[in-house]
Amino acid sequence: MSERLSATLVKSLPGCVQCPRYDAEQHGAGIIHIGIGAFHRGHQAVFTDDALAQSGGDWRIIGVSLRSQTVKEQLNPQDGFFTLIEKSTGKSTARVIGSIKEVIAAREEPQKLSEALADPSIKIVTMTVTEKGYHYDQSSQSIDWESADIQHDLVFPNEPKSMPGLLVKACLKRMKSEYSHSSKLSIISCDNLPENGAIVKSVVLGLASRVDKKLVTWIQNNVSFCSSMVDRIVPKVTVADGQALTQQYGYEDQGLIVTEPFKQWVIEDNFCTERPDWESAGVLFVKQVSDYEKLKLRTLNGSHSALAYMGVLLGHKWIHQAVIDPLLVTVIQRLMQKETGPTIPTFPNVDLAEYQQQIIQRFENSDIAYATQQVASDGSQKLQQRILQAMEELYRENKEQHTACLMATLVCWLRYLKGSDEKGVTYIINDPIADLLHALVNEHWEQPIDLVDALFKQTSIFPTSLKTTPNFTKRLIDGIHKITELGTHAYLSQILQDAE
Ligand code: CS2
């Protein structure tokens, strides 16, 4: 049996595996990360590892799992160490990341987590909790009071289940502690949401106002919220990846991460505490992140979602297969170049055409197998920022002739919600409101007018400005008729033909 990765093993790994260029155990923790899934380990943990190697500091990360124990079981027996494999065009490099100190499972160790959150040596909280983890209601632009977890946290603020609840508890403990004046926190959101820092601020202050009035003022004076744009494709690790690692390098790693070489992190420079030397690791600090968020969400994530829904319907299991389907690549090229492209501000240092081309190449990386179904999940939470906001702007500027592929993405999403592809293969829909969406689509599919009406009334996915634009509604209804009549392939071909 091969030995499992640990602090001891790191010292004797073969030279072809790059090990941390610092003595990890000599560095204390300064960051708590909420939602320690694969993305965090392939992204922020790597930037922090590089910053520790460059400039040191007590900036190791305590990871928090809100629901499961899995990551704790993967990483704690390995003293937090894990291997990161970067893969592209058949080449692969391995390095061990040392920036994670330990993982706490929130549900099993609430006391330990509570102490860590109140510890004044923790200066930064980062998070990847996915779009739904914010409990933010886009239509009212405030915390979603209807959410079961938020309702729970209102009644039991000491045993929070949600990310806002956890942060409110942390702030409450800090306010009441003897270090109240020296326990500031900088909070950075790392999820694919526009203005994500402002969203965290809004949900945290919203919940805090119902828990303790004084807390709102304390937060305003002692906590800063930074938006950030994150980018790296980090798929789920497979058993085969683990076996390949053991075969190639001779050790076992249950916390292994496989990712692409590309990575990017742009952070709003709004810190009220010290921070790691992330610049040295290539992080860009800017006054305003919103333009970068628009660029990434509408270009990469928008076309990812388009490929996902269209890909699933046409039987493509993986993004790298969907993107070499000549029809689908033409759809996303048009979507990026003619539709979302013009809604993106210009940057002195970004060539949009190159950026779009690079995204297609990244999607083509078959060494990073990313499932279309994974991207297709949680559409109700993703489509606003990826598709609908660009559409809203285009309609507002009377450019609806440039919305054909955006509209096709919506139509394919609705068709996807029927729960079976073109060949009748069924699948499970992952979405916080999957049951409602699936029921509405199946009930009204033959009467698209009723379907659209029900979706507008019973969900908050579509922005009011589009709901009240007759042409938008008409095109959506037409699209549903057409995809039913022609099938996905012919429908998309016709969209492209008509758009010429
Ligand atoms: C993807 C993203 O799963 C999804 O919805 O679009 O996770 C995507 O891989 C990342 O945002 C890339 O930075």
Provide the pLDDT for residue 397: 96
User: Ligand 1: distance of its center to the CA of 115 in Å?
Assistant: 33
> Does ligand 1 come within 6 angstroms of the Cβ of 228?
no
Provide the pLDDT for residue 70: 96
Please indicate, yes or no, whether residues 384 and 279 belong to a single structural domain of this protein: no
Distances in Å between the Cα of 168 and the Cα atoms of 155, 213, 241, 270 are 13, 12, 39, 20
> Does ligand 1 come within 6 angstroms of the Cβ of 386?
no
Asked, for residue 358, whether it belongs to a domain, the answer is yes
Q: What H or E segment, with its residue span, contains residue 264? A: strand 264-268
> Does ligand 1 come within 6 angstroms of the Cβ of 304?
yes
Residue nearest to atom 11 of ligand 1 (CA): 231
State the Cα–Cα distance between residues 25 and 78, nearest whole angstrom.
13
For the chain, first and last CA: distance in Å?
Answer: 60
Q: What H or E segment, with its residue span, contains residue 230? A: strand 228-231
Provide the pLDDT for residue 452: 98
Please indicate, yes or no, whether residues 69 and 211 belong to a single structural domain of this protein: yes
State the Cα–Cα distance between residues 270 and 277, nearest whole angstrom.
15
Hey, how many other C-beta atoms are within 10 angstroms of the C-beta on 436? 16
Please indicate, yes or no, whether residues 312 and 253 belong to a single structural domain of this protein: no
Contact 420, 427 (CB under 8 A): yes
Provide the pLDDT for residue 395: 98
The single-letter code of the amino acid at 494 is Q
Please indicate, yes or no, whether residues 280 and 302 belong to a single structural domain of this protein: no
Pick the last residue of a domain from 237, 267, 286: 286
Provide the pLDDT for residue 162: 96
Provide the pLDDT for residue 348: 86
> Does ligand 1 come within 6 angstroms of the Cβ of 38?
no
Asked, for residue 479, whether it belongs to a domain, the answer is yes
User: Ligand 1: distance of its center to the CA of 384 in Å?
Assistant: 15
Asked, for residue 154, whether it belongs to a domain, the answer is yes
Please indicate, yes or no, whether residues 239 and 305 belong to a single structural domain of this protein: no
Instruction: Write b or e for each residue in 404-419: b if 16 or more Cβ atoms lie within 10 A of its Cβ, otherwise e.
Output: bbbbbbbbbbbbbbee
Please indicate, yes or no, whether residues 360 and 240 belong to a single structural domain of this protein: no
At 119 the three-state DSSP class reads coil
State the Cα–Cα distance between residues 31 and 61, nearest whole angstrom.
5
Asked, for residue 242, whether it belongs to a domain, the answer is yes
Please indicate, yes or no, whether residues 81 and 203 belong to a single structural domain of this protein: yes
Instruction: Write b or e for each residue in 356-377: b if 16 or more Cβ atoms lie within 10 A of its Cβ, otherwise e.
Output: beebeebbbbbbbbbbbbebbb
State the Cα–Cα distance between residues 119 and 8, nearest whole angstrom.
28
CATH at 103:
3.40.50.720
Pick the last residue of a domain from 234, 254, 286: 286
Asked, for residue 2, whether it belongs to a domain, the answer is no
State the Cα–Cα distance between residues 453 and 433, nearest whole angstrom.
17
Which residue has 């969209």 as its token pair? 495
Please indicate, yes or no, whether residues 37 and 59 belong to a single structural domain of this protein: yes
Please indicate, yes or no, whether residues 471 and 410 belong to a single structural domain of this protein: yes
Contact 16, 98 (CB under 8 A): no
Asked, for residue 1, whether it belongs to a domain, the answer is no
Domain total for the chain?
2
User: Ligand 1: distance of its center to the CA of 360 in Å?
Assistant: 14
Please indicate, yes or no, whether residues 137 and 38 belong to a single structural domain of this protein: yes
State the Cα–Cα distance between residues 45 and 354, nearest whole angstrom.
28
> Does ligand 1 come within 6 angstroms of the Cβ of 362?
no
Residue nearest to atom 13 of ligand 1 (CA): 231
Helix ranges, 426-487 (H): 434-444, 448-458, 464-467, 470-486
Atom of ligand 1 nearest to the CA of 301: 6
Asked, for residue 34, whether it belongs to a domain, the answer is yes
Asked, for residue 253, whether it belongs to a domain, the answer is yes
- What residues are paired with 91 via a beta bridge? 88
Phi then psi for 407, rounded to 5 degrees?
A: -60, -40
User: Ligand 1: distance of its center to the CA of 365 in Å?
Assistant: 14
Atom of ligand 1 nearest to the CA of 192: 11
Ligand 1 pocket mutation pick from 299, 300, 323, 384 by most atoms within 8 angstroms of CB: 300
Provide the pLDDT for residue 433: 96
Nearest to residue 65, comparing CAs of 30, 102, 97?
Answer: 102
> Does ligand 1 come within 6 angstroms of the Cβ of 374?
yes
Ligand 1 pocket mutation pick from 264, 301, 431 by most atoms within 8 angstroms of CB: 301
State the Cα–Cα distance between residues 402 and 398, nearest whole angstrom.
9
Show the domain range for 437.
Answer: 290-499
Provide the pLDDT for residue 129: 97
Residue nearest to atom 4 of ligand 1 (CA): 375
Provide the pLDDT for residue 139: 78
Contact 289, 266 (CB under 8 A): yes
Pick the last residue of a domain from 271, 286, 301: 286
User: Ligand 1: distance of its center to the CA of 152 in Å?
Assistant: 30
Distances in Å between the Cα of 152 and the Cα atoms of 138, 146, 161, 209 are 21, 10, 7, 15
Contact 61, 45 (CB under 8 A): yes
Q: Work out whether the CA dihedral 443, 449, 451, 454 comes out positive or negative.
A: negative
Provide the pLDDT for residue 366: 95
Q: List the chain residues with pLDDT less than 70.
A: none
Please indicate, yes or no, whether residues 183 and 294 belong to a single structural domain of this protein: no
Please indicate, yes or no, whether residues 204 and 270 belong to a single structural domain of this protein: yes
Provide the pLDDT for residue 140: 85
Ligand 1 pocket mutation pick from 189, 193, 233 by most atoms within 8 angstroms of CB: 233
CATH at 458:
1.10.1040.10
State the Cα–Cα distance between residues 357 and 364, nearest whole angstrom.
11
Residue nearest to atom 5 of ligand 1 (CA): 375
Residue nearest to atom 9 of ligand 1 (CA): 233
Q: At what angle do helices 352-364 and 302-313 cross, to 10 degrees?
A: 40
